């Protein structure tokens, strides 16, 4: 059985959803830096001390994008990720790269501006310019969902589990999503999936969607 290190309110929720959607058995190990829970155990297997981290047959495996694709490949019949020879495969990678390398990264300076400077004015400047960037990204996401229920069209995929996870961070960053006509309905569609609901309940995130 694989071991899964996760922490609530982080990007590891996407992997957690994938494991439940795919019905892959796992031993979950919760990590909390605040509560000093299983941090040393995580550091033994994750070179950067980050979640998500899996241990598969004794070998550590990290990085959300690689993990999502790996897990989907274990259960191809579930049809939750495009096959490599399908035209949507590259589109899925495009979205995953956007979510992981662009969209997600904005939330760090927004929530933790004090890591860069103690000066409140400079913190505000960092936060305001980050909010502008997030809004541009939200516009892009919203317009991509105008004629599509999900990122790849009419079918839900693990790419959506990742975007859903990061969109949830808007709530903690006090960013309202009400101006985006398509994002809240999209999040509600995903929220109602039994596997997603189970994970949100387990991670104490049922109050997840920013209004
Ligand atoms: N590129 C990594 C990012 C992983 C990451 O940043 N994990 C965060 C939670 S979202 C973390 O563990 N932060 C704790 C730390 O860096 O000390 C991935 O996609 O999995």
Instruction: Give the pLDDT confidence of 34-43 residue by residue, as tens digits.
Output: 999 999 999 9
The verdict on residue 118 lying in a domain is yes
* Residues 59, 95 within the same domain: no
**pLDDT in the model for residue 139:** 98
Using a 6 Å cutoff on CB, does residue 54 contact ligand 1?
A: no
Between the alpha carbon of residue 113 and those of residues 52, 108, 126, the distances in Å are: 24, 7, 7
Q: How many structural domains compose the chain? A: 2
* Residues 57, 123 within the same domain: no
Task: Give me the CATH number covering residue 108.
Answer: 1.20.1050.10
What is the H or E stretch that residue 62 is in? strand 59-62
**pLDDT in the model for residue 210:** 78
The verdict on residue 131 lying in a domain is yes
User: Which of 17, 48, 71 for mutating ligand 1's site (highest number of atoms within 8 Å of CB)?
Assistant: 48
Q: Evaluate if residue 159 carries a pLDDT over 90.
A: yes
Q: Evaluate if residue 22 carries a pLDDT over 90.
A: yes
Q: How far apart are CA 124 and CA 26, in angstroms?
A: 42
- Ligand 1 atom at minimal distance to the Cα of residue 7: 9
CB count in 10 Å sphere of residue 19: 21
pLDDT in tens, 110-136: 988 998 999 999 999 999 999 999 999
Q: Evaluate if residue 26 carries a pLDDT over 80.
A: yes
* Residues 55, 93 within the same domain: no
- Ligand 1 atom at minimal distance to the Cα of residue 52: 20
* Residues 10, 53 within the same domain: yes
Q: How far apart are CA 17 and CA 187, in angstroms?
A: 14
Q: Evaluate if residue 211 carries a pLDDT over 80.
A: no
**pLDDT in the model for residue 111:** 87
Q: For the whole model, what pTM was predicted?
A: 0.96
């Amino acid at each position: 059985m694989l071991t899964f290190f996760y922490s609530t309110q982080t990007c590891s929720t996407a992997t957690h959803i994938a494991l439940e959607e795919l019905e892959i058995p796992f031993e979950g190990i919760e990590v909390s830096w605040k509560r000093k829970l299983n941090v040393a155990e995580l550091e033994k297997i994750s070179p950067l001390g980050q979640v998500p981290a899996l241990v598969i047959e004794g070998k550590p495996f990290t990085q959300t994008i690689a993990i999502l694709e790996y897990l989907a490949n274990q259960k191809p019949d579930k049809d939750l990720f495009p096959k490599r020879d399908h035209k949507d495969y590259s589109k899925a990678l495009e979205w995953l790269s956007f979510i992981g390398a662009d969209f997600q990264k904005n939330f760090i300076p927004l929530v933790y501006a004090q890591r860069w400077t103690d000066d409140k004015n400079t913190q505000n400047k960092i936060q305001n310019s980050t909010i502008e960037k997030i809004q541009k990204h939200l516009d892009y996401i919203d317009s991509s969902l105008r004629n599509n229920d999900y990122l790849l069209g009419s079918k839900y995929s693990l790419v959506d589990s990742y975007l859903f996870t990061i969109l949830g961070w808007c709530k903690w960053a006090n960013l309202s999503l009400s101006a985006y006509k398509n994002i809240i309905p999209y999040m509600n569609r995903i929220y109602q999936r039994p596997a997603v609901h189970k994970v949100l309940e387990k991670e104490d995130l049922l109050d997840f969607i920013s209004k």
